[in-house]
Structure 1
Amino acid sequence: MTVMPDGEPQILPILADEDVVRARQLVRTLAVSAKLSLVDQTKLVTAASELARNTLVYGKGGHMEATTLRNARHLGVRLHFADDGPGIADLQLAMTDGYTSGGGLGLGLSGARRLVDEFDIDTAPGAGTRITIVKWAR
């Protein structure tokens, strides 16, 4: 299935607590424009908040790139979080349900993954972390 960007990507630095708030606001706006249901808007904003907070706290800052998407049947929102922090040493542990290193919403990466339709993570010790999530309108 072909997926095409449905608008220009918006890049938001995540360098301070206020940027996490701005990320949530931008994601909510894009979720509404992609016609996500209220429940799916809330799921996407919650996942984005967790990942933005992780980018700030554990990645020591980075950015979020956000865009709406279109495929043959649906609109959606794609978010890409990137940092140049220390990376995740034990990805398997970090993706375990209930695992938290503290400070976030308590969802952890596994919780964020459950809230979206697509979840991809690329990380290694010393190489930073890149996470891409997608939520499609139903």
Structure 2
Amino acid sequence: MTVKHQLKIKNEKDIIVVRKLGREVATDLGFNHIDQARITTAISELARNVVKYAGKGTISIEIIHKYVPGLQVVVRDDGPGIVNIKKAMEDGYTTSNSLGAGLPGVKRLMDEFLIDSQVDNGTQIRVVKWLKN
């Protein structure tokens, strides 16, 4: 069973839509309420970064299978990219006067986190949460 949704992100309304969809897919897959909240928070943070830093992008939400089912989220944009990924992954680092909990927080919430960013060429972030029995 492969379920994949791909949506465009360009404004705050889209963030609400992708959050809702992520929660619905997580619920349907059988994630508990805590993991549903983790997934929803991660999706929200990633989508908000797209709107804030790149202006627009896409998000795909997909059920995947390894040894157990999981929910994979891939966010892509063609924005300015991240100059220093190592620095961006430090707690408290921010370029926009926010709390700086975004990417490090997403990494802590999910089981897998992979980031690829090229200056002037955009960013792709892939996160996965595995269903625990």
Q: TM-score range by the shorter chain?
A: over 0.9
1:74-131 Cα offsets, whole Å, 9 max, x none, are 2210000000000001111100012223376752201110000000000011110000
Change (3 A) 1:105 1:133: farther
Number of residue pairs matched by the alignment: 132
- In structure 2, runs of 5+ residues without a counterpart are none
Q: 2:44 pairs with 16, 27, 49, which one?
A: 49
- Is 1:47–1:116's contact at 8 Å kept on the other side of the alignment? yes
> How far apart are the structure 2 equivalents of 1:104 and 1:21?
20
Q: What is the percentage of aligned positions where both structures have the same residue?
A: 38
> How far apart are the structure 1 equivalents of 2:9 and 2:61?
13
TM-score between the two structures when normalised by the length of structure 2: 0.92
- Is 1:36–1:76's contact at 8 Å kept on the other side of the alignment? no
Moved more, 91-100 or 13-22: 91-100
1:67-82 map, 5 Å: 67-72=62-67, 74-82=68-76
Query: What secondary structure does 2:54 align onto?
Result: coil
1:1-138 map, 5 Å: 6-72=1-67, 74-102=68-96, 106-138=100-132
- Is 1:122–1:131's contact at 8 Å kept on the other side of the alignment? yes
1:5-52 Cα offsets, whole Å, 9 max, x none, are x32321110011100000100100111111111111111110110000
- In structure 1, runs of 5+ residues without a counterpart are 1-5
Let me know the Cα RMSD of the aligned residues. 1.5
> How far apart are the structure 1 equivalents of 2:97 and 2:23?
22
- Is 2:92–2:99's contact at 8 Å kept on the other side of the alignment? no
